[in-house]
Amino acid sequence: MLISKMAAEGGGKEMNEIKTQFTTREGVYKLLTHSEYSRPNRVPFNSQGSNPVKVSFVNVNDQSGNGDRICFNVGRELYFYIYKGVRKAADLSKPIDKRIYKGTQPTCHDFNHLTATAESVSLLVGFSAGQVQLIDPIKKETSKLFNEERLIDKSRVTCVKWVPGSESLFLVSHASGSMYLYNVEHTCGTAAPHYQLLKQGDSYSVHTCKSKSTRNPLLKWSVGDGALNEFAFSPDGKFLACVSQDGFLRVFNFDAVELHGTMKSYFGGLLCVCWSPDGKYIVAGGEDDLVTVWSFLDCRVIARGHGHKSWVSVVAFDHYTTSVEESDPMEFSGSDEDFQDQVVQFGRDRANSTQSRLSKRNSTDSRPVSVTYRFGSVGQDTQLCLWDLTEDILFPHLPLSRTRTHTNVMNATGPPAGAAIISSSNTTNGNNGSANTPGVTTLPRSNSLPHSAGTANSTAKTSGTGGGTGSTGGGIMDSAIATGVSKFATLSLHDRKERHHDKDHKRNHSMGHISSKSSDKLNLLSKSKTDPAKTLGTLLCPRMEDVPLLEPLICKKIAHERLTVLIFLEDCLVTACQEGFICTWARPGKVGLLSSQNQASSPSGTVV
């Protein structure tokens, strides 16, 4: 403890030194040791064999101005506290609610932000044995238990989320590779559900529940091969991004129950996924130690980021630092050598002002705004990385070309050998429209799949079928079921090449948790395996040299144990490690009175 405390305070230069602050171009982020949340005894949790620590936030809009609430799981325990963030020190002696579970452990949780009030919140909790519980930690009620007898799915719950815009629908994914749509108003049956095929496509199938009266689950999705590790809804709630142990990112039109596009990891499973605030980009991380940026409009990998030394466990966009600015034409204040250097390393991150001005200047040729996306990642290497996704990556230039034309946008990074080049003028113009317009994505989608021109046409036809169902909330089920069967008849997906259910490189670690049991999937998915080498070098998984390689803005060791949480809030960012410590990092200028008031009485516990 003494060593780690010395290291944290800068007194030691050990290899294990933990950073308590870091600097980016916007200023200094500082760890607020008094805002650390954990179990009340503050003892590091022995995490061997335990499920990852997860954190959920909700704002209950109470009159005190301190409406933030935090929920986190540590081992068999679940805690619910008032979250004071950068304003006041955490008081761990008074949890609003605490639960200890026997025989099963909480694995994930999610608040319903629509229905939250100061008197009541709806919290879903998923468990290691497959159940999902609906609780109200303010009223201290347990209202419902779903999959109680484990008749729907016996495997661990990997992710649970409320459907955006709905007070009653929620989605649950399992280590079996299945996802289920539930309605809190409905019960689960007393026998195992019987299913009827609604739609089947490339490496996925969707079934409805056959029963006389409506009951849970409303839908069953079987996706890919192996565990479905995480999913995330697009900002508008219309699309769903899923990452699986088979190494695939699959993006679905949620309402139409249709596959929009896919991407393959460099190797190994994908563990985490998130959307940019405008829904145009998806970032995924996993067992290849990389973060991969995928364009929703173009359905292709546009960059990879290398900074982690082990598996990436969480990726998240920083909505508060991602900037969209009106840009005036600026002179490029640098020599031609500077410009050539920039082109040579166009895959590297830009932090200095000359290059960002250049990026901004060039963007005025075709776009009136300059965009920089900030996202972060944490991993099992105990490191936090921050990344900037700048215009020179999003809209790469041909070497020595200072003006941007529509035709060089996609071709600048050079498509891999054998890939068809489709004129990208449509794709570029699509940026001016809505990010989630299915019509815009027809060409890039067919270009993102490795099949022949003949099948590309069928894909293009398919892409329009989901355009009409834009309903959210309660209308999802009606539109999905009512129109699903007729749409399914129009899908000519069976003539695509069956692909990519590969057993990935295992490096020197066992991936024994991959489930290859097909019983849960009703044997309806085709199981033909493809050599991973066949996807490498395609648009599905470009070679490393074919896409820009980002370097992190910062890459800092911030914990002793693997990191499992990264959440960006308005005045801070929150991280958590497997020892059960939830840390608050004040944004530049947001430290406030807390640090100055408490400097004198520093706690003697381990600073993580």
- Give the model's pLDDT for residue 17: 87
Encoded amino acid at 355, one letter: Q
- Give the model's pLDDT for residue 388: 96
What is the distance, to the nearest Å, from the Cα of residue 211 to the centroid of all Cα atoms in its chain? Answer: 34
Q: Which CATH number fits domain 42-176+178-223: 3.40.50.300, 1.10.10.60, 2.130.10.10, 1.10.1060.10?
A: 2.130.10.10
Among 557, 510, 513, smallest CA distance to 309 is for 557
Radius of gyration of the chain (CA): 24
In sequence order, what are the beta bridge partners of 8? none
Give 2's DSSP letter. H
Could you tell me the pLDDT band of residue 16, with boundaries at 50, 70 and 90? low
Phi, psi of 204 (to 5 degrees): -150, 155
Between 608 and 256, whose confidence is greater? 256
- Give the model's pLDDT for residue 75: 94
Phi, psi of 587 (to 5 degrees): -70, 165
Q: Which residue has the tokens 């068809």?
A: 420
Q: Which two tokens stand for residue 520?
A: 């849960």
Could you tell me the pLDDT band of residue 462, with boundaries at 50, 70 and 90? very low
Phi, psi of 33 (to 5 degrees): -65, -25
Task: Assess whether pLDDT exceeds 70 at residue 360.
Answer: no
Residue 298 to residues 89, 262, 282, 423, 539: CA-CA distances in angstroms? 46, 11, 11, 12, 11
pLDDT in tens, 97-124: 999 999 899 999 999 999 999 999 999 9
Residue 399 to residues 240, 330, 345, 414, 546: CA-CA distances in angstroms? 36, 20, 11, 12, 15
CA angle 344, 348, 507 (to 5 degrees): 115
Average pLDDT over residues 82-97: 93
Q: Domains of the chain: which residue ranges?
A: 42-176+178-223, 237-325+369-397+541-557
Could you tell me the pLDDT band of residue 397, with boundaries at 50, 70 and 90? low
pLDDT in tens, 464-509: 333 333 334 444 444 444 443 333 333 333 333 333 333 344 333 4
Could you tell me the pLDDT band of residue 212, with boundaries at 50, 70 and 90? confident
CA angle 72, 46, 159 (to 5 degrees): 40
Could you tell me the pLDDT band of residue 266, with boundaries at 50, 70 and 90? very high
- Give the model's pLDDT for residue 45: 86
User: What is the value of pTM for the model shown?
Assistant: 0.71
Residues near 96 by beta carbon (within 8 Å), at least 6 away in sequence: 69, 80, 81, 82, 137, 138
Alpha-carbon distance of 162 to 519, in angstroms, equals 27
DSSP string, 208-266: EEE-SS--B-SEEEEESSS-EEEEEE-TTSSEEEEEETTSEEEEEETTTTEEEEEEE-S
Judged by average pLDDT, the poorest of 33-37, 51-55, 144-148, 356-360 is: 356-360
Alpha-carbon distance of 49 to 360, in angstroms, equals 49
Could you tell me the pLDDT band of residue 26, with boundaries at 50, 70 and 90? very high
pLDDT in tens, 51-83: 999 999 999 987 777 899 999 999 999 999 999
- Give the model's pLDDT for residue 532: 63
Task: Assess whether pLDDT exceeds 50 at residue 264.
Answer: yes
Alpha-carbon distance of 282 to 315, in angstroms, equals 10
The secondary structure element, H or E, covering residue 111 is strand 106-111
* Residues 44/579, Cβ–Cβ less than 8 Å: yes
- Give the model's pLDDT for residue 382: 97
Task: Assess whether pLDDT exceeds 60 at residue 453.
Answer: no
What is the distance, to the nearest Å, from the Cα of residue 261 to the centroid of all Cα atoms in its chain? Answer: 16
Give 545's DSSP letter. G
In sequence order, what are the beta bridge partners of 388? 374
pLDDT in tens, 478-488: 444 444 333 33
pLDDT in tens, 283-334: 999 999 999 999 999 999 999 999 999 999 999 999 999 876 654 433 333 3
Among 303, 282, 302, 296, smallest CA distance to 463 is for 296
Alpha-carbon distance of 60 to 82, in angstroms, equals 10
Average pLDDT over residues 379-395: 93
Average pLDDT, the chain: 75
Task: Assess whether pLDDT exceeds 80 at residue 42.
Answer: yes
- Is 3.40.960.10 the CATH number for 237-325+369-397+541-557? no
pLDDT in tens, 536-559: 888 899 999 999 999 999 999 999
Judged by average pLDDT, the poorest of 97-111, 164-178, 235-249, 449-463 is: 449-463
Task: Assess whether pLDDT exceeds 50 at residue 354.
Answer: no
Could you tell me the pLDDT band of residue 361, with boundaries at 50, 70 and 90? very low
Q: Helix axis angle, 353-363 relative to 336-344, nearest 10°? A: 80
Q: Are domains 42-176+178-223 and 237-325+369-397+541-557 of this chain identical in fold?
A: yes
Average pLDDT over residues 94-99: 94
Encoded amino acid at 46, one letter: N
The secondary structure element, H or E, covering residue 68 is strand 68-74
Percent of the chain, pLDDT > 90? 56
* Residues 262/250, Cβ–Cβ less than 8 Å: yes
Average pLDDT over residues 521-539: 59
- Give the model's pLDDT for residue 142: 77
Alpha-carbon distance of 317 to 32, in angstroms, equals 22
Among 577, 578, 595, smallest CA distance to 586 is for 595
Task: Assess whether pLDDT exceeds 50 at residue 459.
Answer: no
Could you tell me the pLDDT band of residue 513, with boundaries at 50, 70 and 90? very low
Task: Assess whether pLDDT exceeds 60 at residue 281.
Answer: yes
- Give the model's pLDDT for residue 70: 97
Q: Which two tokens stand for residue 370?
A: 């300059």
- Give the model's pLDDT for residue 501: 39
Alpha-carbon distance of 473 to 40, in angstroms, equals 38
* Residues 478/257, Cβ–Cβ less than 8 Å: no
3-state secondary structure of 171: strand
